[in-house]
Structure 1
């Protein structure tokens, strides 16, 4: 065991001597100055999620009250446009004016009883708009629409029936819509049969 001790001492001495600085080349000795380290902020690994572009709702969507009226309270002038043809100007006769927030969508017109007249929009000529499913009555944008009829035979007066659907701001507004005027006040009266 004593043999390896002098060997270890020689190896350690050589290492210490070899690592010592040597000024023979004329270089200044290197002095190590500790540097201050500043903490760096972590860099994000991915982009943040995109914000939605749709408007946020503060509460769930609620369905507005609505009603269907098979025979709407309507009235208006009827004029003969040519022999055997009549055109009715159709106006809402319910609660006047139509409450704010209420929208009344016009349905299909029909005649009761049938057989004396038939619907014929050509009787109204260039009067517009015609009473079709595209018409919507509201308080701020109400305008009458037109329905034409052609006489087929002699008989009794025929009522113009117009169905509507209404969407209201409140249930009370919907209940008040038919008002005190029941159904249609428009009728086509037959003249002498055209022949």
Structure 2
């Protein structure tokens, strides 16, 4: 039995040495818990950068040039030798959403019988010109005045235009429905 007791004492001694650690000054193991009040509060979101965002490259919208816009309207004589035309868009109506039609400067074909003279329209506004834009939600007719300067044939009012569209199909729909201008000025006695 002495051998059994000696063996038991030896195993007990090994067990104590293994569990007790060494005496070389190692720190005991500590376990931190996250149950503290500071750990359970939500943290601040990260700060977003203040640098400007990069801009996306501009995308070219479809556009077309219309040499003679599809226009029509009433022409009335306002005084001897003067006439005024109310100019309306006769193309696809309404103008497609997202489409902008930039009206060009008006001119007359053939020339020599009439000249452009906005006084023929009195106080009717806006005059047709390159600063006028037509869109579906802001469309208003414009006015072109003329003065007769000679006898001759009727003169057709030509207004060029350019259109910027939301889609290629919208631009295509603006062409070919009504061929050019339906407005002409008929001569009467020339103004003095």
Q: Shared topology, TM-score over 0.5?
A: yes
Partner-residue secondary structure (3-state), 1:146: strand
Query: CA shift at 1:178, angstroms?
Result: 2.2
Write the distance in 2 (CA, Å) between the matches of 1:98 and 1:63: 20
Tell me what 2:103 maps to. 106
Corresponding position of 1:25:
none
Deviations 1:21-79 (A, max 9, x none): xxxxxxxxxxxxxxxxxxxxxxxxxxx9951356x65x532110001101000000000
SS in 1 for 2:108: strand
Counterpart CA distance in 1 for 2:146 and 2:98 is 33
Is 1:130–1:146's contact at 8 Å kept on the other side of the alignment?
yes
Which residue is 2:123 aligned to?
Answer: 126
Q: Which residue of 2 aligns with 1:151?
A: 148
Counterpart in the other structure of 2:185: 188
Matched, 1:115 2:147: no
- Relative to 1, partners in 2 of residues 1:66 and 1:82: Cα closer, same or farther, differing over 3 Å? same
Q: Deviations over 1:65-112 (max 9, x none)?
A: 001101000000000010000000000000111000000000110000
> What SS is found at the alignment partner of 2:119?
helix
Q: State how 1:1-195 maps to structure 2 within 5 Å.
A: 51-53=50-52, 60-195=57-192
Tell me the TM-score normalised to structure 2 length. Answer: 0.72
SS of equivalent to 1:155: coil
* Residue matched to 1:28: none
Distance, in Å, in 2 between the alignment partners of 1:112 and 1:133 is 19
Where in structure 1 are there 5+ consecutive unaligned residues? 1-47
Q: Which runs of 5+ in 2 are unaligned?
A: 1-46
Bigger Rg, which one: 1
Q: Determine the C-alpha separation between the residues in 2 that align with 1:85 and 1:101.
A: 37
